[in-house]
Structure 1
């Protein structure tokens, strides 16, 4: 039944291209998603490496030969933004997470030490998040990148 299918989480796989330095450190990233019908899925994770997608985006995916679902495109952007932060000192990670969460962001920690994915919901001013992250970048406490800006 379609209703039952929409309640089950599935994985959507994103193929990644590495640059000359081997970044990202993986060639494929999977994210949990909720089927919403007609080959469309609402992302339920903050991406760590995939660019151009964000939490709660609705994406299309196709069933691949191995039975997995491969990302095709963003169909309905959620308005969320995705940022990634690599913190140089592990002891600074908890405080930075608290500061980001106080601004209204959600964060997820990677299996890679000190790597954090940041979700900036549409209601959170991106400039306030950038200001915080730029301050830490200027003082060489971390680096960050904007992987997807809400639209």
Structure 2
């Protein structure tokens, strides 16, 4: 990454899972520094309601001493799914590969947790079926902290 095209943005949020205030930093490309507009270049590990390629407004926060997320300006249509491995006899990388073959990319946090992006153009119906199947078998647990409108199944 070239430092002059990328910035780190701080996200502050309350986690229902951890029941505490949390912070996460993500890389973003600069769209318009003067207007505070940036495109997220990471799959969020924990931050809710944002996905990679979303355009966000961020400004320098004196207290935090860094660029800090304020709001999402334009949604990419991508969704973020958080997946926890419940069955420790299973290999997390094989589960990630299964979803990769369905068109999803992911970033592993550790051997028990990864965050996955469902791109805007991928049909979520098949992804959701696989997630539900694995959850029913108690292999994984999952959350949908950022589900785009086109991925919402009614």
TM-score, scaled relative to structure 2:
0.86
Pairs aligned (count): 144
Q: Secondary structure at the match of 2:14?
A: coil
SS across alignment from 1:49? coil
The 1:136/1:23 distance shift into structure 2, 3 A limit, reads farther
Q: Which runs of no fewer than 5 residues in structure 2 stay unpaired?
A: 150-154
Superposed CA RMSD in Å reads 1.9
1:58-82, CA deviations, whole angstroms, 9 ceiling, x for partnerless residues? 0000101143011111101000000
- Report the Cα distance in structure 2 between the residues aligned to 1:82 and 1:90, rounded to whole angstroms: 25
Whether the 8 Å contact between 2:90 and 2:139 is mirrored in structure 1 is no
After the TM superposition, list the runs of 4 or more consecutive aligned residues in structure 1 that deviate by more than 2 angstroms: 21-24
| Structure-2 residue corresponding to 1:59 | 56
CA distance in 1, matches of 2:125, 2:106: 17
Offset at residue 91 of structure 1 (A) = 3.5
Q: Any residues of structure 2 matched to 1:79-98 within 5 Å, and which?
A: 79-88=77-86, 89=88, 91-98=90-97
Q: Taking structure 1 as reference, are residues 28 and 90 closer, same or farther at Cα in structure 2, changes over 3 Å only?
A: farther
1:12 paired residue number: 9
Q: Do 1:55 and 1:80's aligned partners in 2 also have CA atoms closer than 8 Å?
A: yes
Structure 1: unaligned runs, 5 residues or longer = none
Displacement, 1:22? 3.0
